[in-house]
Amino acid sequence: MIAETNVQLDNLIFPLFLTEGVNFKNEVTSMPGIYRYSQDTLLKELENCLQLGLNKICLFPAIADEKKDPIASESYNPEGLYTSTIKQIKSTFPEIILMTDVAMDPYSSDGHDGLVRGGEIVNDETLHILGKMALAQARAGADIIGPSDMMDGRVGYIRELLDDEGFSNVSIMSYTAKYASAFYGPFRDALDSAPKNGDKKTYQMNPANKKEAILEAELDFQEGADFLMVKPALAYLDVIKLLSDNFEIPIAAYQVSGEYAMTKAAAQNGWLDGEEIMLETLLSIRRAGASAILTYFAKEFAQWVNKDK
């Protein structure tokens, strides 16, 4: 009755990892309870999620090395693993709200989110590739496009392209304040997507900055973003609050792989109560002002909600 904040299953989006193969399901070592799925086992897992009332997902692909190249051409292949799986999911389970990932890293032989030339990331040329990727995903049936690449100007570029092609109802959740963070380690292991050279500090944000988050948010807002996301979540609650105090569109937060891994590792050692930490951290992210939370705990939370039913 007196709680000012709550977490509901409807706030949560479940990130899932897709890989090649058939009848394949393999646990990510640093993320207990989280798996890489082939298309068929993924569909079974989605059925389980739906039975628990969890219907919002974000899909990330692990692409075979031989399909990677410097221009990430597999990312806009309409018959590729990712796009064909999106089609399959939306035709099997139309009630699923499917968010996609737009960035070059899973498909790039350089392992960077943008195009690399002479050891540098070339922002404006990357936009053409991101645009083709977003369009291929929208054509396959994506509901929300999630540009996680952090190139400047990509939200406006993608928005215009989607509108021109008749996808004005497809929304954009921009990774607005995405920090260059060590908390992404387990994710890069899961997808084998770590940069081959250098780091991501020329395009992801400096953890020291929050005014810059306002600038990024203003640009994304003007360019037509439907949600502004902060990532990671727990170490950046002040940034979530800042954006939620200053912008009238929904704020999202990504409780990332490292946040999940830390909690699971401590819980497995009996050093923390994993379930309590899940509930408390999710509540803190909501309290800071996020309405949507991407979290690897989404299914576990759904199970917790259903426990006493």
User: Does 107 interact with ligand PBG (rule: CB under 6 A)?
Assistant: no
> Please, what is the minimum distance in Å from the beta carbon of residue 198 to ligand PBG?
12
Span of 70-78, 86-94, 183-191, 273-281 interacting with ligand PBG by CB under 6 A: 183-191
Span of 71-79, 98-106, 128-136, 222-230 interacting with ligand PBG by CB under 6 A: 98-106
220 to 259, contacts with ligand PBG by CB under 6 A?
256-257
E strands, the chain, where? 12-18, 25-27, 35-37, 56-61, 97-102, 115-117, 120-122, 144-147, 171-178, 227-231, 251-255, 292-295
Query: DSSP character for 250?
Result: P
Tell me the torsion sign for CA atoms 179, 180, 185, 189: positive
Span of 100-108, 114-122, 131-139, 267-275 interacting with ligand PBG by CB under 6 A: 100-108
- When the beta carbons of 155 and 163 are compared against ligand PBG, the nearer one is 155
- H-type helices in 192-236, by residue range? 211-223
Residue 231 a catalytic site member: yes
**Measured at the alpha carbon of residue 227, what is the angle toward residues 212 and 83, in degrees to the nearest 5?**
115
User: Does 151 interact with ligand PBG (rule: CB under 6 A)?
Assistant: no
User: Residue 13 and residue 306: Cα distance in Å, rounded?
Assistant: 17
User: Residue 159 and residue 165: Cα distance in Å, rounded?
Assistant: 10
Per-residue binding letters, 185-214, with ligand PBG (x by CB under 6 A): --xx-----------x--------------
Active-site entry in 56, 68, 200, 231: 231
User: Residue 295 and residue 112: Cα distance in Å, rounded?
Assistant: 23
**Which one among 34, 46, 103, 213 touches ligand PBG, defined by CB under 6 A?**
103
Residue 309 a catalytic site member: no
Catalytically annotated residues: 178, 231
Chain residues in the site for ligand PBG (CB under 6 A): 101, 103, 105, 113, 148-149, 184, 187-188, 200, 256-257
